[in-house]
Amino acid sequence: MPKNTHKIAIAGAATLGAAALAFSVVPADAQTTTTDAVSSARVAYSSQPVQDVKTSVTDQLAATSVKVDAIQAKKKAAEAAAAKKKAAAAKAVAAKKKAAARAAAKRKAAAKAAASHKAKEAANRSAKRAAIKKATVRHYANNLDGWIKHSLDIMKSKGIPGSYHGLHKNIMRESSGNPNAINDWDINAINGIPSKGLLQVIPPTFTAYHVSGTSWNIYDPIANITAAANYAADKYGSIDNVNSAY
């Protein structure tokens, strides 16, 4: 018999099974012809190759292999995606840190520039003030006109009221413009405290109303005028309101 055929066909197996079943169910007293039935049944052989079973197993193995490959591919893809995501996150963090560092450096540079600019402006203002101060330094003549003008500038800086005219008229009446004038005949002189200077101020009044920044010499024209004007402002509102002995 050829190698590529079955020894027992499915049909033959079915016939044998049917014959065996018929033999087992016949009563003992009955006459049977089982031998003939069995022997008369022909065994049919198949001439087809055994391929179906082999093909089925191969297909199953192939399908399983495909599934395994798919799982592995999916796993690799997931791992690659996770690695890519991790790398992207690390890159984002690094970029964020770098940006923060740049921003901090920029802020620091801006603050430094602002401080430098501020210092430069302050220096410029100081230089300008010095220049203005230097430019506004006044020089006064060493005479009655110069003394009055110098005194008026000091009075203005101290908030003491008075005008050129008010000072001049009282100076001319009290001392005729002589800074060394002294009254040795009035009541103050009798009391031992004679009036002195351009505006004839007694020493206690000069000391009480002395203006800071001026000389403590009662005969100094500027000191005498500003102290007298300060006293007159306190007692009369202004030296301009004084028209007689005060």
Contacts of 63-70 spanning 24+ positions with Cβ under 8 A: none
Residue 238 has pLDDT above 60, yes or no: yes
For residue 102, what are the CA distances in angstroms to 91, 96, 107? 16, 10, 9
Q: Tell me the two tokens of residue 237.
A: 């509102």
Q: Which is more confident, 72 or 228?
A: 228
End-to-end CA distance of the chain: 166
Q: Give the integer Cα–Cα distance in Å for 139 and 117.
A: 36
**Cβ neighbours of residue 6 closer than 8 Å, sequence gap 6 or more:** 45, 46, 50
Per-residue pLDDT, averaged over 75-92, amounts to 90
**Cβ neighbours of residue 168 closer than 8 Å, sequence gap 6 or more:** 144, 148
Q: Give the integer Cα–Cα distance in Å for 137 and 18.
A: 145
pLDDT of residue 165: 97
Residue 12 has pLDDT above 50, yes or no: no
Its pTM stands at 0.48
pLDDT digits (tens, 9 = 90+) for 49-75: 555 555 676 777 777 777 888 888 888
Q: Which amino acid is at 152?
A: L
Task: Quickly state the pLDDT bin for 32 (edges 50, 70, 90).
Answer: very low
Do 209 and 234 contact (CB within 8 A), yes or no?
A: yes
Task: Quickly state the pLDDT bin for 181 (edges 50, 70, 90).
Answer: very high
Do 16 and 10 contact (CB within 8 A), yes or no?
A: no
pLDDT of residue 24: 40
pLDDT digits (tens, 9 = 90+) for 151-164: 999 999 999 999 99
Task: Quickly state the pLDDT bin for 133 (edges 50, 70, 90).
Answer: low
Cβ burial of 59 (10 Å; 0-12, 13-18, 19+) is exposed
User: Which helix (H) or strand (E) element contains residue 68?
Assistant: helix 52-136
